[in-house]
Amino acid sequence: MLSKNRSRIRPVLYALLAALLFGLNAPAAKLLVARVDPLFMAALLYLAAGAGMLALGSLRGRNAGVVRESRLSRAELPYILLMVLLDIAAPILLMLGLSRASAATASLLGNFEIAATTFFALVLFREAIGRRMWLAIALITAASVLLSLNDLSAFSFSTGALLVLGASLCWGLENNTTRKLSIKDPQQIVVIKGFGSGVGALIVASIWGSLRAPLVAVLAALALGFVAYGLSIFFYVKAQRELGAARTSAYYAVAPFIGMTLSWLVLRESLSPLFFAALLIMLLGAALAVSEAHAHPHFHALTTHEHRHSHADGHHNHAHEDGFSGEHSHNHTHEPLTHEHPHLPDTHHRHEHHD
């Protein structure tokens, strides 16, 4: 029982760590975007993520003994391409939004990504979502709209807020695309995501933006990209593997609050009563999202696939001739099984629901 509890806590910690790292993005990028073109900034962030994780991967490869992660294959190519395209658009929209809106507003509006991720998870990818999660989506969406209003009496939306919302929509769809890849090596995913999206954004910046920036600002942007994008995405993908797209994004809701707090402490940005009202609504929505429970009788069909696993999770009962039982990756088969237990839409519980 203890090992099962640990296995459920670990992906939550991964999601929270990813949120903590990405929470640095908005306030730090707000400082840098004044000295670096927003389009060039988006390219630097992802290129640093890819390069940094590639360097870590090469160090890990030297000490590799057991194969612990499965590699991406041609079968995942459509999802890889869509992931890269969305990751070109999203940071560009975010950097343009940051150049027109406060970092605190951008950080809190980033929570709209939860609603977008959950909507796409349900409609396009048939991920199970209960009434509690739907209420959370409604609250987070309402708070996002409330925060994007410049003047409640005039009902006018700010351009910066709308651009940040557009970035959240792109990342919401991208989260679900990445979820289809999360069974594979997360480090490889970040490298492909980083270089693919970074080069794409660099091409866009060379056409419509400017590649000129102070060297210190460029180096700072690269450091931010490795931490807030590279390491954050790595832990996010590891969390998605166990939690699914919707629930990982719900835990990830901590990120905007971290960014908002840093914006207030470091940048001294003022926080209006409307801002605090939106914050309270989003906190309630996030609390509902992470408190949802899910259990019912379900059927596991005969399946053969490859991914990282251990023999202590209740779903991998095959034996090895050498008696190895630690975490590893290889092609393996699951026999048909029907049982009931609390579960999340992880690798083995992505079944459809008909209620």
**Can you give the pLDDT at residue 183?**
82
The pair of structure tokens assigned to 255 is 């990120």
**Can you give the pLDDT at residue 127?**
74
Contact predicate 353/255, CB 8 Å = no
Q: Among candidates 101, 112, 98, 103, which has minimal Cα distance to 39?
A: 98
SS3 77: helix
The pair of structure tokens assigned to 257 is 């609050």
Contact predicate 149/156, CB 8 Å = yes
Q: How far is the C-alpha of 101 from the C-alpha of 320, rounded, in Å? A: 57
Contact predicate 245/137, CB 8 Å = no
Task: Name all contacts of 289-292 with Cβ < 8 Å and 24+ positions apart.
Answer: 289/114, 289/118, 289/132, 289/133, 289/136, 289/137, 289/140, 289/246, 289/247, 289/250, 289/253, 290/247, 290/250, 290/251, 290/253, 291/132, 292/130, 292/132, 292/133, 292/136, 292/247
**Can you give the pLDDT at residue 213?**
92
CA distances from 8 to 11, 104, 186, 236, 291 (A): 6, 32, 18, 15, 14
SS3 309: strand
**Can you give the pLDDT at residue 154?**
45
Angle, alpha carbons 114-115-119 (nearest 5°) = 115
Q: Is the pTM of this model over 0.75?
A: no
**Can you give the pLDDT at residue 20?**
87
Helix ranges (DSSP H) in the chain: 2-22, 25-32, 38-62, 77-98, 103-109, 112-123, 131-147, 159-179, 186-208, 215-224, 232-251, 254-266, 273-290
Q: Residue for token digits 């194969």?
A: 67
Chain Cα centroid distance, residue 135: 21
Contact predicate 136/252, CB 8 Å = no
Burial 120-159 (b: 16+ CB within 10 A, else e): bbbeebebbbeeebbebbebbbebbeebbbeeeeeeeebe
Q: Kindly report the number of other CB atoms within 10 A of residue 192's CB atom.
A: 20
**Alpha carbons within 13 A on the beta-carbon side of 77:** 3
Query: Running along the chain, 355 residues long, what does each successive block of 10 average in pLDDT?
Result: 57 88 84 90 94 84 56 87 91 86 74 82 77 81 70 62 90 89 86 93 90 94 95 90 78 72 74 79 80 62 60 58 57 63 54 52
The pair of structure tokens assigned to 284 is 């309630």
